[in-house]
Structure 1
Amino acid sequence: MWVNGEMRDSIEARDRAVQFGDGCFTTARVHQGRVQRIEAHLKRLQQACERLKIDGVDWRRLENEMSFAATTRSDGVLKVILTRGSGGRGYSATGCAAPARIMSISDYPAHYHSLRQTGVRLALSSVRLGKNPQLAGIKHLNRLEQVLIRTELEQTGADEALVLDSDALLVECCAANLFWRTGNQVFTPDLSASGVNGIQRQWVMQQVVQSGFTLKEVRVGIDALAAAEEVLITNALMPVLPVYQAESWHYSSRQLFALLCHHNE
């Protein structure tokens, strides 16, 4: 692990990431010693910092540190955290030191390879996401909802969770975005009030439109999946996985999945 460019595994107890979850992060695939879509990951962090009003990040240094970290692992996962730093009194950020950069690299999740063949099963989570348009879309450090979702998911035999918001509308999975297809129409939940607008989600949306499908961001309940011919989930590591079952509904088509896999090669 690296903290502000130095190899160590600790940060100050006064860091606002510890005190308030005051920061953001991104998780990137490392392949052949390089960060995949590094520009998109940097843009994601920049947008999150703008939303959180975190200033003073040395973006060139961060990019160099990310690239160096990737050289230490041929195939893996790079997690990059930016915090507001240490200082301030209470919730006030006045007097904070420079933002802190925390970086770690780990093994690539091997089970994603097998899930591309078998597909995944989704189970509905009882944990609902709160609605907050000011924070919606970004990957901030307040992830307690996802911790609860994952804890519940681990008590089931499912691979991922279907997550609704407080109005019982589809949002995403625990650690992935959601798409479904009916005929020539592809749908994905509207994330204007909650959820994470993943880098792979953005890529899939572009590919769908360019391939001649109709794409709609929708605010619908889980019953929308009953009429779907195909369901898939995405994140920067998967990067696309087919769904064979969501609750009691089963899916066998992989038309969109095959198309996206071809474009992702």
Structure 2
Amino acid sequence: MAKRLGCWLNGEPCQYIAVGDRGLSYGDGLFETIKVVNQQPSLWHLHKARLANGIARLKIPCDLTDIERWVFEVCQQHPSAKGVAKLIITRGGGGRGYNPLGSGPVTVLVELYPYPDYPAENWSTGIQLFPCATQLAHQPLLAGIKHLNRLEQVLARQEWQSAEYGEGLVLDQSGYVVEATMSNVFLVCDNQLITPDLSLCGVEGTCRAFILEHAEKQGTSVEVLNVTLAMLFTATEVFVCNSVLGIWPVRTYQAHCWPEQKCWPIGHMTQYWQQTLIEVLG
């Protein structure tokens, strides 16, 4: 079980968040889970960009200048070479009722955790995906951002407890592949890298953004489109990624509606992005 190493509220050590906080009452806020490498927040520019987008979408009156400083100061206190920082931003206190008028000031929490003890074989030999029955609802106003309401992901993750599955694949209500419960999905078709469109639901992960950003710099084309299960099953490689776990190749998957289990090798494209992520992020 992960142990919390420390919690800071608006730059000061704290033990708890106020009961009347809108983040606790309504999920009215955002969060980022950040890999800490040598006491620095990895991929911070991408986390910051997603936060800025989320703050604008939710109309939370918030300046990222102090938050950025607090994140860097707290990461300096991590005792290990690798770890995790969780940043939570809420609209603050506001009493009862959904109307946010008069709420605040904004609450900012930063928590430190040890680096997760993921099985090494998840990275080296790949994982088996669980076929989640929980589907994601369409809500373009919230799509992409990492808001505090993760109940769909909680329901999906409750569907399996067996250690044979490293992640669970989640579809939307139209039957398109969206993401895994805690990571984004990439597939390779005809040497073309493809990732699902997230304009209606799902989280635009920072590792996903890193791959899109670096592919563009290298002149490599990445298609962002609606991904069907048929496309997934005809892919030559599949992998999942997030900013903490990195990239895990997907070895096997069987959909509820598919008669046979599909298997994929760990291909050159997957290996390339695994190595690129290590070289850049450590």
TM range, smaller chain: over 0.9
- C-alpha distance in structure 2 between counterparts of 1:90 and 1:155, whole Å: 40
> In the alignment, which residue of structure 2 is the partner of 1:222?
229
> In the alignment, which residue of structure 1 is the partner of 2:68?
63
> In the alignment, which residue of structure 2 is the partner of 1:256?
269
> In the alignment, which residue of structure 2 is the partner of 1:32?
38
Instruction: Please say if residues 125 and 266 of structure 2, whose CA atoms lie closer than 8 Å, have aligned partners that are also in contact.
Output: no
> In the alignment, which residue of structure 2 is the partner of 1:157?
164
* Unpaired segments ≥5 residues, structure 2: 1-6, 255-260
Quote the offset at 1:118 in angstroms: 1.9
Quote the offset at 1:256 in angstroms: 1.0
Secondary structure at the aligned position of 1:63 is classed as helix
> In the alignment, which residue of structure 1 is the partner of 2:3?
none
Secondary structure at the aligned position of 1:220 is classed as coil
Instruction: Please say if residues 130 and 165 of structure 2, whose CA atoms lie closer than 8 Å, have aligned partners that are also in contact.
Output: yes
1:171 aligns with 2:154: no
Amino acid at match of 2:161: E
When structure 1 is superposed on structure 2, of 98-107 and 251-260 the one drifting more is: 251-260
Quote the offset at 1:263 in angstroms: 2.2
1:237 aligns with 2:244: yes
Amino acid at match of 1:68: E
Pairwise CA RMSD: 1.6
Quote the offset at 1:51 in angstroms: 0.3
Instruction: Please say if residues 20 and 95 of structure 2, whose CA atoms lie closer than 8 Å, have aligned partners that are also in contact.
Output: no
Quote the offset at 1:262 in angstroms: 3.0
- Counterpart among 10, 19, 24 of residue 16 in structure 2: 10
Instruction: Please say if residues 207 and 260 of structure 1, whose CA atoms lie closer than 8 Å, have aligned partners that are also in contact.
Output: no
Specify whether residues 244 and 196 from structure 1 end up closer, same or farther in structure 2 by C-alpha distance, changes over 3 A only: same
Q: Deviations over 1:132-157 (max 9, x none)?
A: 01100000001001111111132573
* Unpaired segments ≥5 residues, structure 1: none
Specify whether residues 249 and 213 from structure 1 end up closer, same or farther in structure 2 by C-alpha distance, changes over 3 A only: farther
Secondary structure at the aligned position of 1:147 is classed as helix
Secondary structure at the aligned position of 2:165 is classed as coil
1:22 aligns with 2:28: yes
Q: Deviations over 1:162-194 (max 9, x none)?
A: 100111111000000000002221111110100
Instruction: Please say if residues 126 and 266 of structure 2, whose CA atoms lie closer than 8 Å, have aligned partners that are also in contact.
Output: no
- C-alpha distance in structure 2 between counterparts of 1:112 and 1:35, whole Å: 23
When structure 1 is superposed on structure 2, of 254-263 and 228-237 the one drifting more is: 254-263
When structure 1 is superposed on structure 2, of 153-162 and 5-14 the one drifting more is: 153-162
| Structure 1 ranges of 4+ moved more than 6 A | none
When structure 1 is superposed on structure 2, of 29-38 and 153-162 the one drifting more is: 153-162
Quote the offset at 1:113 in angstroms: 3.9
Q: Deviations over 1:215-256 (max 9, x none)?
A: 212213222211111001111112211111122111113211
Q: TM-score, structure 2 length as denominator?
A: 0.89
1:54 aligns with 2:67: no
- C-alpha distance in structure 1 between counterparts of 2:217 and 2:92, whole Å: 41
Q: Percent identity?
A: 34
Instruction: Please say if residues 122 and 166 of structure 2, whose CA atoms lie closer than 8 Å, have aligned partners that are also in contact.
Output: no
Amino acid at match of 1:256: M
1:188 aligns with 2:188: no
- Counterpart among 98, 111, 120 of residue 105 in structure 2: 98
Specify whether residues 213 and 229 from structure 1 end up closer, same or farther in structure 2 by C-alpha distance, changes over 3 A only: farther
